[in-house]
Amino acid sequence: MNPIAPSGQLIDTLTPAKLRKDGIRLGVLSVLSIGYALLFDQPVLNVLLIAVNGFGVLVATIAVVVAGTAIRRHGQAALIGLAVYGACLIGHVLAIVLLVG
């Protein structure tokens, strides 16, 4: 059985440096969107931010699935990845809810 991603590529995705970079990028985007949604209300920018956060939800969901399936093989690194990407996923969903509401 051939895995979708070779083990080397998967472990590179779960390294602390990669998790920090991805977590910071996704987290900053969701925090800025949440702050914008709470402070301002401009329909055109709301639509753009909803689209960007929707893409963030897609990326974070894929990352959560990959990290979740890698827990058995990679242990703590995958668990930390699951937590980081899960927090980013929650942030993007919250941003979308605030922008829509």
Q: Tell me the per-residue pLDDT of 83-101, one tens digit each, with 9 for 90 and over.
A: 989 999 999 999 999 989 8
Predicted pLDDT of residue 86 = 93
Q: What is the distance, to the nearest Å, from the Cα of residue 10 to the centroid of all Cα atoms in its chain?
A: 16
The C-alpha atoms of residue 98 and residue 40 are separated, in whole angstroms, by 11
- Which residue in this structure is represented by tokens 């991805």? 22
Instruction: Indicate if the pLDDT at residue 74 is higher than 90.
Output: no
Q: What are the domain boundaries of the chain?
A: 23-100
- Across 15-42, average pLDDT: 83
Q: For residue 33, give Cα distances in angstroms to 13, 54, 56, 57.
A: 25, 12, 11, 13
CA-based nearest residue to 76, from 16, 2, 1: 16
Q: For residue 74, give Cα distances in angstroms to 5, 38, 39, 66, 86.
A: 14, 39, 41, 11, 17
Q: What is the distance, to the nearest Å, from the Cα of residue 54 to the centroid of all Cα atoms in its chain?
A: 10
Mean pLDDT of the residues in the chain: 83
Predicted pLDDT of residue 24 = 83
Instruction: Indicate if the pLDDT at residue 12 is higher than 60.
Output: yes
